Structure 1
């Protein structure tokens, strides 16, 4: 897979461990991992590779400890014309973040440092967000005269409700990880020294489940959030998952009081 090596543009790396854990790392610490169109294209290519792979879970990381991601590359962003903003910048960000949101594998954003603007929107597109206790989160776009443009108004409101979303978006407030946890914006917090342990624990929990059942359930949760009748989809999904080899493995292990080994079939 091609990678961007220029120090100004940064790099996105994709690695897969023997335990079927895929890791995407945005490596642009000098620019606080700010996102450019070039990096969005690299992220899209990495997500496509993960979708087609045997990976069971995706961990999304960034380099450095100053910022998870501060959002848009302001130098590139500010140079766009209104037409370019409409048909390129906003369009590409939405496309890639939606690709992350609907990825069949469970996804975890590891937030160490500031997650602001498009950086928070990136994390919001993941299923889980584990933040260090020193992290801060916000959507400060109104402070430069614009609005969140990569799905933040929708995904943030779905997680924390309209009133709290307005605190971050309209008032431009930034909150600490503890408050974000109370609001449901992040799923877990940990001290910086224990952050990797918290990530490893969640990954281990995910790997203990049956892949097809997990990926099907993820689609059901997404459909439920859009108001689809669960009685219809759950009937279809149950018929599908109970026809897999993993279901029979799970039932036999439950009966025999042994630990199942799921294969994804």
Structure 2
């Protein structure tokens, strides 16, 4: 059933989400500030992500408002007011809490990057499984020009994606990548013209939804575990055993044998 739900709670700051069928779309809506991130916005994003995790959504899109910037990162006006102790206790800790939760969602996540994604904005996109960018996308980590460092997982996640040398180049020199270079480096997983971005993202979403939901979600967890050195020989045995116990496994095998298209029920 292709249902649409709108979730926008009173008191939420610049964050909402909706579910259309099996796809949840979360929107950060602060275009006048180029979607800069404050502590209040991060807290609201965390609340909405928790709701999405417990929903029936099978794919999550992360979008931002406006056509100039995906997200320019931290709201410098706010973070400049923090003492060193507050930076340690609140600012860095809160960003990691939210971005780690996003990264660990059971559902596949796709950041739709239209415009500039720098600093915490790039770190936000890096917390998603896939990043699809418009040709207008520009990505970078400019923190050293402010006398500080990437603080919301950029040094780790960027290194996993592009390798240590390229991560160091981006951080040391504050190089801002255009969309095609980001695609070549693997920082973006696909690039589209702005006019076709939504359609091309929809194609990827549809391909994901063709798979059995439990198998897709367990595969995500296994890949994430492999990225930190977990042994596949153990985890793949456990994951295979679990997915083989689902009704969807029987559906998939029968469809293969009968040369038909499987209809998975997420059971």
TM-score interval (norm. to shorter): over 0.9
Residue 160 (1) aligns with residue 162 (2): yes
* Structure 1 residue 13 corresponds to structure 2 residue 16: yes
Q: 1:56-88 CA deviation, whole Å, 9 max, x = no partner?
A: 000000000100000001110100111111010
SS in 2 for 1:250: helix
Which structure 2 residues correspond to residues 52-201 of structure 1 after superposition, within 5 A?
Answer: 52-201=54-203
CA distance in 2, matches of 1:256, 1:28: 51
Measured after TM superposition, the shift of residue 3 of structure 1 is 4.6
Deviation string 1:167-203 (CA, Å, 9 cap, x unpaired) is 1101111010100000011100001111111110011
Q: Deviations over 1:141-163 (max 9, x none)?
A: 00111100000000000110111
Q: Offset of 1:256 from its aligned partner?
A: 1.4
The correspondence for 1:227, drawn from 216, 226, 229, is 229
Report deviation, 1:2: 2.8
Deviations 1:195-230 (A, max 9, x none): 111110011001101000011111100111111110
**Unmatched tracts of structure 2, length 5 or more:** 1-7
1:28-52 superposed Cα distances (whole Å, 9 cap, x missing partner)? 0000000000110111011100111
C-alpha RMSD of the superposition? 1.0
Q: Give yes or no for contact 1:120–1:138 (8 Å, CA) kept in 2.
A: yes
- Measured in 2, the distance between the counterparts of 1:193 and 1:103 equals 29
Give, in whole Å, the separation in 2 of the partners of 1:234 and 1:20: 26
What CA distance in whole angstroms lies between the structure 2 residues aligned with 1:4 and 1:252?
49
Is 1:2 aligned with 2:5? no
Query: Counterparts of 2:84 and 2:224 in 1: how far apart (Å)?
Result: 32
Q: 1:4 offset after TM fit, Å?
A: 4.5
Structure 1: give runs of 5+ residues left out of the alignment. none
CA distance in 1, matches of 2:119, 2:172: 13
What TM-score comes out, normalization by structure 1 length?
Answer: 0.96
Aligned residues: 260
TM-score (norm: length of structure 2): 0.96
The answer to whether the aligner puts 1:257 opposite 2:259 as a matched pair is yes
Deviations 1:94-142 (A, max 9, x none): 0000000010000000000000000000000000000011110000000
Structure 2 SS opposite 1:71: coil
User: Is contact 1:3–1:11 with CA below 8 Å preserved after alignment?
Assistant: no
Matched residue SS, 2:242:
helix
